[in-house]
Amino acid sequence: MSTARLTVDLDALVSNWRALDSLSSDTVETAAVVKANGYGLGVQPVARALFKAGVKRFFVAVAEEGAALRDVLGPNAEINVFSGHMRGDTDMFGDLNLVPMINSIDQMLRHVEALPGHPFGIQLDTGMNRLGMEPEEWVALSETALNLGPNLIMSHLACADEPDHPMNRQQLETFHQLTDGLSVPRSLAATGGILLGPEYHFDITRPGVGLYGGLPFADAMPVARLDLPVIQTRELQAGETVGYGNTWTATEKTVIATVAAGYADGIHRIMGPKTSLYAGDVPCPIRGRISMDLIGVDITHLEEEPQGLTLLGPQQTVDVIADNAQTIGYEVLTALGGRFSRRYKGG
């Protein structure tokens, strides 16, 4: 096989959900965010495993993701759509019983006129300035909206991965000001918010990246493993170079393995100089530029030529790779390529 293999540990995924669930009281429901194809790992097996483990409420980014998820889970899961009720979404919301998180007066009018009596939630902007009704907009609309019976009011923290950031407290206080006294379930915390403590949990939490092994949930079990097959090896003499642009030059006799993956698979070029692949627990540094489909790796120090090398796994987590690429674990996970063969363990 010349394609890389992405192995997803569904038991680890479920363990991460249970660990985050255990941080809240029994009165708090722990949902799951499975947008972007289950953070790049495959929404069908990911959602099935979480549903089997007890998750009853899921969040996705757009209605099309909700439609795909409904096909996987059947009628007994609640599916909430962050983008709200957009033009062209009505049939999907109505036919598939998806729940839009309404973000504006325009969306509210569209939803009420097109689907009277259909469930909906409300998203409020408490300072992130991304999605949700502004406080002034909510104050003007709240009486009407509440009379229509929303099943959830939510907001999203901008800086929850920085526990001491003053924005966390500011948004918490704003959320209280806008929602205290209302008899509607509330949600503020994703993974980072859960870790900030019970006062951020309200009625429903919505872990995302922590389920998949990413920070800020430092105790998360690794979920994804990426093994790259070795296509060819060659011996270089001192002075020979590797890859486009001659960016790496051998200073002594060197053995280079060429592995099958590259930036077309979400392995970003910028990570190359700081990143190694692993033969078991032995690091093997990348040499030369990462190209579209191929990467050169120094295996001079190995006792035998490997059939494959590991990029992502317990030896090197998604967040280590993200640091090497000057990005975040979310981007690494969601960029993992469609050419990988996928294998699912457990679940």
> pLDDT digits over 51-109, tens only?
999 999 999 999 999 999 999 999 999 999 999 999 999 999 999 999 999 999 999 99
**Residue 253 annotated to the active site:** no
In a domain, 16, yes or no: no
Residue 251 above 90 pLDDT?
yes
Cα(254)–Cα(240) distance, integer angstroms: 9
What CATH number has the domain bearing residue 64? 3.20.20.10
In terms of domains, do 260 and 168 share one? Answer: no
In terms of domains, do 202 and 254 share one? Answer: no
Q: Looking at 35, 200, 330, 344, which residue is catalytic?
A: 35
What do you get for the CA distance between the two ends of the chain, in Å? 25
Handedness of CA 286, 289, 295, 297 (dihedral sign): negative
In a domain, 81, yes or no: yes
Cα(338)–Cα(90) distance, integer angstroms: 30
Cα(321)–Cα(328) distance, integer angstroms: 9
Cα(40)–Cα(114) distance, integer angstroms: 33
Q: What percent of the chain has pLDDT over 70?
A: 100
In a domain, 19, yes or no: no
Q: How far is CA 301 from CA 110, 210, 260, 330, in A?
A: 64, 35, 21, 33
In a domain, 21, yes or no: no
Q: What is the mean pLDDT of residues 195-209?
A: 98
What CATH number has the domain bearing residue 308? 2.40.37.10
The whole-chain average pLDDT of the chain stands at: 96
Alpha helices in 54-156 (DSSP H): 63-73, 90-96, 105-114, 135-147
**Going by C-beta distance under 8 Å and a sequence separation of 6 or more, which residues neighbour residue 92?**
63, 64, 66, 67, 98
Domain stop point among 169, 186, 212: 212
**Residue 244 annotated to the active site:** yes
**How is 294-320 classified by DSSP, letter by letter?**
EEEEE-TT-SS--SEEEEEBTTB-HHH
CB 199 within 8 A of CB 176: no
Domain stop point among 212, 233, 259: 212
In terms of domains, do 43 and 192 share one? Answer: yes
In a domain, 195, yes or no: yes
In terms of domains, do 139 and 250 share one? Answer: no
Q: Enter the pTM of the model.
A: 0.94
In terms of domains, do 38 and 185 share one? Answer: yes
Residue 3 above 90 pLDDT?
no
In terms of domains, do 185 and 271 share one? Answer: no
What six digits make up the tokens of 241? 């170079």
In a domain, 25, yes or no: no
In terms of domains, do 44 and 159 share one? Answer: yes
In terms of domains, do 74 and 200 share one? Answer: yes
Cα(97)–Cα(79) distance, integer angstroms: 8
In a domain, 263, yes or no: yes
What six digits make up the tokens of 214? 């990413």
In terms of domains, do 167 and 204 share one? Answer: yes
DSSP state of 253: -
CB 43 within 8 A of CB 68: yes
Q: Looking at 39, 244, 274, 344, which residue is catalytic?
A: 244
Domain stop point among 169, 185, 212: 212
Q: What is the mean pLDDT of residues 289-296?
A: 97
How confident is the model over 130-182, as pLDDT tens digits? 999 999 999 998 998 999 999 999 999 999 999 999 999 999 999 999 999 99
CA 256 to chain centre: 34
Dihedral class, residue 88 (left if φ above 0, else alpha if ψ from -120 to 50, else beta) = left
In a domain, 17, yes or no: no
In terms of domains, do 181 and 258 share one? Answer: no
Q: How confident is the model at residue 2 (pLDDT cuts 50, 70, 90)?
A: confident
Instruction: Give me the domain span that covers residue 238.
Output: 224-345
Q: What pLDDT is attached to residue 1?
A: 55
Q: Which of 242, 335, 347, 300 has its CA nearest to residue 311?
A: 335
Query: How many residues belong to the chain?
Result: 347
Looking at the structure of the chain, the number of domains it has is 2
**Going by C-beta distance under 8 Å and a sequence separation of 6 or more, which residues neighbour residue 150?**
102, 120, 121, 122, 184
CB atoms within 10 A of CB 144: 11
In terms of domains, do 39 and 178 share one? Answer: yes
Starting at the edge strand found earlier in the chain, the sheet holding 121-123 runs: 32-33, 57-60, 78-81, 99-102, 121-123, 153-154, 186-187
In terms of domains, do 133 and 202 share one? Answer: yes
